Amino acid sequence: MGETVLVTGCAGFIALHTIMQLNKDGFQIIGVDRKQKPANFLGKYYQIDITSPEIVRIFKENSIDYVIHLAALPSVSESIKNPQADCMDNYYATVNICYFSKLYGVKKIIFSSTAAVYAKPRYLPVDEEHPIDFISPYAITKGASENFIKYSGIDYIIFRYSNVYGYGQDSNGEAGVVAKFFDQMSHNKNIKIYGTGEQTRDFISVVDVAAVNVLALKCNVKNEIINVSTNRKTSIKELYWVIKQVLNYNKEPIYTFARPGDIEHSILDNTKLLNLLNYTPFVLLKDGILDMKDKNDILGGLVG
């Protein structure tokens, strides 16, 4: 029997990929989410809101070695509309998970943070020593969660993801631009690009992110904050052309006004990822988009 891992937010996009990797590596999986159990879930499942004291039942009924804490309310716009809900789902949920993890002897917690804590970058590429700043309640709750994890006394690795994409990402609401473009082009809809399209992002495949999440359990690294990124910049215009080529899409994009508050350029330095975890992200953007197409053709449309 392998060691036991609790995955929070286990019905989500990144979690489902991480769980597949955990299963391959022989870990025993326990999942918790407020949503119903996904089809073909690999492991023991609890449908519980992790802001509830009821989560103590998970720790009482299982001997949990590690926690991968992926549950979050990921929408910046929703965090602005409803900061109370954002605080509960992101910060208080983290406090709850840390409290019971400490009480029941969890060895290490892996936390999914975000590049949003860097706000508008002062220099590029952004390393982990870049000053922290906040331009949304979402970023505030992620930053506060990082601090509570450090305070908790549990060994941890905090990962600050760049722009994650891949099969299974929800294309609705405030989804990543990859999921939106892919879904719209798949249905032959018009593509809208805000501003010039020269804005740049650091896109990383969920395949790499899942591999890193699991590697963090198997290594001796602890109490570190690490960027998970490719350290490569891609413009929105370039992204459009890559997806257009893969899907044989034949429409031209519609350019419109830039959105106020959008960050112009974002790229994360991944030197610590390479040096501490000895991991180099291997999925190139075009290959990642091709993988999305292949899975979409075989398994059906993108799911949330």
Backbone angles phi and psi of 178, in degrees to 5? -60, -50
The radius of gyration of the chain's CA atoms, rounded to the nearest angstrom, is: 19
Q: How confident is the model at residue 303 (pLDDT cuts 50, 70, 90)?
A: very low
> 81-107: per-residue pLDDT in tens?
899 999 999 999 999 999 999 999 999
User: What is the model's pLDDT at position 1?
Assistant: 63
Residue 123 reports pLDDT greater than 50: yes
User: What is the model's pLDDT at position 78?
Assistant: 81
Residue 224 reports pLDDT greater than 70: yes
Chain centroid, CA 158 distance in Å: 12
Tokens of 65: 């070695």
14: closest CA among 170, 180, 219, 243? 170
| Dist. CA 94–CA 111, nearest whole Å | 9
Residue 301 reports pLDDT greater than 60: no
Average pLDDT for residues 280-286, to the nearest whole number? 98
User: What is the model's pLDDT at position 160?
Assistant: 98
State the residue for tokens 């892919």.
Answer: 182
Q: Which domains does the chain have, with CATH numbers?
A: 4-299 (3.40.50.720)
User: What is the model's pLDDT at position 148?
Assistant: 98
34: closest CA among 24, 22, 19, 47? 47
Residue 66 reports pLDDT greater than 80: yes
> 128-177: per-residue pLDDT in tens?
999 999 989 999 999 999 999 999 999 999 999 999 999 999 887 555 89
User: What is the model's pLDDT at position 77?
Assistant: 78
Average pLDDT for residues 270-282, to the nearest whole number? 98
> 15-54: per-residue pLDDT in tens?
999 999 999 999 999 999 999 999 889 899 999 999 999 9
70: closest CA among 12, 19, 136, 115? 12
| Dist. CA 112–CA 302, nearest whole Å | 22
- Give the residue with greater pLDDT, 2 vs 113: 113
User: What is the model's pLDDT at position 174?
Assistant: 53
User: What is the model's pLDDT at position 109?
Assistant: 98
Does residue 82 contact residue 23 with C-beta atoms inside 8 Å?
A: no
Quick check: is 138 catalytic? yes
Helix then strand count (H, E) for the chain reads 11, 13
Q: What percent of the chain has pLDDT over 70?
A: 97
3-state secondary structure of 45: strand
User: What is the model's pLDDT at position 302?
Assistant: 45
Selected catalytic residue, list 91, 138, 167, 249? 138
Amino acid at 215: L
Chain centroid, CA 132 distance in Å: 19
81 CB neighbour count, 10 Å cutoff? 11
**CA distances (Å), origin 23, targets 5, 44, 157:** 10, 12, 21
Residue 8 reports pLDDT greater than 80: yes
90: closest CA among 146, 154, 7, 23? 146
